[in-house]
Structure 1
Amino acid sequence: MEKQGSRALLAAVIGMGVLLFLGSLALVGVLVHRMMHPAHPPAAALAGAGPVAAVGPDMSAQAALVVDEPPGTSVRSLTARADGLLAVALTGGGVADRIIVWDPLARRITARLVLGQP
Structure 2
Amino acid sequence: MRRRMMGRPMMRPQANPQRQLFIQQLREMGFSPDPNVRKQAVVTLDGLRNPRAILALRHISENDPDPEVRALAQQSLARKVQNIGTPAQNVKTIWDCDACGTRDIEGAACPNCGSSRPRNEDYI
Normalised-by-shorter TM-score class: under 0.3
Q: Which has the higher strand share?
A: 1
Q: TM-score, normalised by structure 1?
A: 0.22
- Which protein is bigger by CA-based radius of gyration? 1
Q: From the two aligned structures, give the one with the greater helix fraction.
A: 2
Q: What is the TM-score when the length of structure 2 is the normalising length?
A: 0.21
